[in-house]
Amino acid sequence: MSDPHEPEPTPPPPAYPETRWPMAGAVIAAAVLTLLLPDDLRLGPRWALPAAEGLLLVALVSGDPLRISRRSAVLRGVSVALVVVLACSTLWSTVRLIDDLIHGGNETGSASALLLAGSSVWASTVLTFSLLYFELDSGGPAARAHRMPRTPALAFPQQITPELVGAQWRPRYIDYLYLGFTNSTAFSPTDVMPLAPWAKSVMTVQSVISLAILGLVIARAVNVLV
């Protein structure tokens, strides 16, 4: 029989999980963009990377289907593996595109083919880095659902001025997608400030990649049209 004078245990704080589908939609979109790439810009056979990304996504959805709230080392490892596959695919396509632009490739002789390939690689970069920020910031979405750290790696405006949103606010995938898009277009932070060294390093790499893609593709396309 419990002691009536013993204090009751403190209940765990409520969780604020995020729905799985925005993140899943981004992975599916990245896989579709991979299929649209020319063969010489794709890492491996046409089906290989989309199949690997699809299997990893199915594993995530099966383990934590509707809302991302289950803290599991296995699911965390699958999420990181998915981001690594996407990053390898994007970096390979970027390097191959830049090499073709410098030395000449199958798609560099046509402005329309070049713009299609360049926009696909650029959009893949935005999606990949948005998912990378989404997975690495504050321990990932499952950890953020239960607790936000006092010192985040990425400082959103809502965290700087919490009185505007309340303690229950959590960054969602759309926030990280916006970060990936603005960093690829402005080549610098806009409303989200990187605080951790890894965040500054990753945002720098993304800006350099985006600048190289946009600069070289536009210059080459104009040269072809002229």
Instruction: Give the residue among 159, 144, 151, 127 at the shortest CA–CA distance from 29.
Output: 127
Give the residue ranges of DSSP H helices in the chain: 21-36, 48-63, 73-103, 111-136, 141-146, 157-160, 173-186, 197-225
Domain parsing of the chain, residue ranges: 18-225
Give residue-wise pLDDT tens across range 151-201: 889 988 888 777 777 767 889 999 999 999 999 998 888 889 999 999 999
pLDDT > 90 fraction of the chain, expressed in percent and rounded? 39
pLDDT > 70 fraction of the chain, expressed in percent and rounded? 88
Q: Residues 6 or more apart from 57 whose CB is under 8 A from it? A: 24, 27, 28, 82
Q: Dihedrals φ, ψ of 192, to 5°?
A: -105, 125
Instruction: Give the residue among 133, 25, 153, 132 at the shortest CA–CA distance from 88.
Output: 132
- For position 132, what pLDDT does the model report? 95
- For position 3, what pLDDT does the model report? 58
pLDDT at 24 over 70: yes
